[in-house]
Structure 1
Amino acid sequence: MSRWKPLPAELDPRVRQLVVRLRRLKDHSGLNVRQLAARTEYSPKSWERYFGARALPPVPAVAALARVCGEDPTRLLALREVAAEAWPTAVPDADPDTGPDADANPEQEPEPDTEPDIVLSKRPPLSPERRVLRIALVAGSVTLVLVVVSAVLVTVRLMDGRDAGTGRSSTAPLATPASASPSPYSCRVERVGGHWYAGNSRTQQENLAVGSNGPDVAEAQCLLRRAGISPGGIDGMFGPLTEHAVKQFQERAGLDADGMVGPHTWKALRA
């Protein structure tokens, strides 16, 4: 087993833990740095720097060491990530000529192999760059949530305001304006037995006045139109236009122009 040069006392614990685990794997494999270099893409000098804490081993080198030693690289890579955060200020100057291989000075005592494991769940403080990035991501997420919630609230309030103004439920279909609705009445004027009929009613006695509605009114409107006097639309509603048309017809027929349709007016309309 190799006799390792003790690591500097001021070395950051996160870096120390990584280096100790690298040394353990190398010792358990029974390989020296030359043999290790032959099985990886890294030179003996590179491995000496990694084992001596003079350089941070790259991720591929850590994975290669784990592969050669038959170790799962997951935990080793996690230790390497933790050590990388402390590396820029953690590694003291070291003697570049000192190597950690099996040919090292045999009088040097091996460093105790009892370094405490780093608890990965207690991660070290984030670097300033990562802290700024995390704050920016959190702030962006909060802003997005607030925008979505605000949009939903505005939509709900607009719908509530519209429903309150119209007295309709938000799920009720909009009523079609009366002017856009097709009239259920039509004029199919024909002469039967000496009398005119428009196909809506055959009454000759119904009394109609402003406010009346239905097929009797539509019948009177059709007959007024046949007589050349427009009552407005054929909608079955006895309104001012229909009343005015009735008065015109009554004056022309020599009847009392009261604007109401009674038996005498019916008789004149159907004659």
Structure 2
Amino acid sequence: MARWKELPGGLDPVVVEFIGQLRRLKDASGLSVHRLAARTGYSASSWERYLSGRLLPPTAAVEALAAVTCTDTGADTDTARLMALYAAAVDSWHRDRPTGHTDADEDEEGGEPLPNLVPRPVTRRRLYLTAAGAAVAGALIAVAAMTEFDSGASAGSPRTAAVAHPIAYACTYVRRHGSWYAGNSDTSSDVLEVDMSGPEVAELQCLLQRAGISPGGVDGNFGPLTESAVISAQKRYHLDVDGQVGPHTWAALRG
């Protein structure tokens, strides 16, 4: 039986209870995380996140774990109770999200992340993205400050600083040299994963949409619905299922 690490503090009790039930089912199965991944179709890294309390799994993953446990042990898993507990955990997450939270903050092999209680590992790519975001934010603040006053305006005439608006992405499909493009990015090698955002993610969402796999919209944010769509695409094209986008997934979607 696995010696589980303590769950992060501050989680809603219903979320703690649900994750505890997942851990009990995993222990009952007698499978390692990698064997569990092979049996359920969800990557080992995803199961590690689900079982550590960093991420709520998608419905299909919960059902798959219950089915594996039932098959391997002969135990009569109360799937209905498990799914009711899962629904309550997801509802708790949505209820507790801060105002202004969007799908960009979500982390769904279609999973649903918990509130930002556990710091995620800071990869070099994420560090670059954070630094770039900070630089852009600083530039916007500087421009707003400079435009607040007009040198030609008389004293007492207020000026309104410019307000930034969300970027609107569109899908303009063209076929070039045997590959499909949607007008947001020409990349075929950039690695994309949950929590990332930008035109490359919008391009991915457009290509998924063209393939008939809904990412839940084209907003440039790699959230749970986008990850779930990526997993569906990887299964369709017989690729490694990890919810991340690399050269092989790009090639399949552009082909």
TM-score range, shorter chain: 0.3 to 0.5
Q: Which has the higher contact order (CA 8 A, sep 6+)?
A: 2
User: Under a length normalisation based on structure 2, what TM-score does the superposition of the two structures give?
Assistant: 0.36
Instruction: Say which one has the larger Rg.
Output: 1
